[in-house]
Amino acid sequence: MSAVWLPLHIAFAGLWLGCVLTEALFERALLGQGRDQERILVRLHRRVDLLIEIPAFTLVLLTGGMLLMQAGILTPLLQVKVAFGVLAVAVNIYCVWLVLRRAAAVERGQWEEFARLDHLQHIYGAVVLLALVVALAIGVYRFSGG
């Protein structure tokens, strides 16, 4: 059955990573370009989180759980991979909350709150990206015979 779960897990992880990178591009292109552009940014980021990112990391978590149940022996390397994957999901959940709060602050015209939440969202977004890349790298190493 892992013949089904592994390709799905990899595909969903790739979708998630692509989503995180796309959001980073939104942020770089629109942040600091004026209030109108920042309004567009928060709407885009919120929409991508709700329609793509949350389903992607949820499916990564589910398929990873299925693979973990079939893994048998949990090697130290697999434990590290799982830890980084769970870290990426947990921090991404927090980031979604920050993105939603940041969007609400913009809707209320609370630009100082927007700036504070934006700063936090970028810090934790970097943690998501790093943890996701580490988990993916370990997975590639592990399944390439390493």
Task: Give the model confidence (pLDDT) of 11-39 as tens digits.
Answer: 999 999 999 999 999 999 999 999 999 99
CB neighbours of residue 21 within 10 Å: 11
Rg (CA), the chain: 17
Helices 54-70, 2-30: inter-axial angle, 10-degree rounding: 150
Task: Give the model confidence (pLDDT) of 33-67 as tens digits.
Answer: 999 999 999 999 999 999 999 999 999 999 999 99
Q: What is the pTM of this model?
A: 0.92
CB neighbours of residue 137 within 10 Å: 12
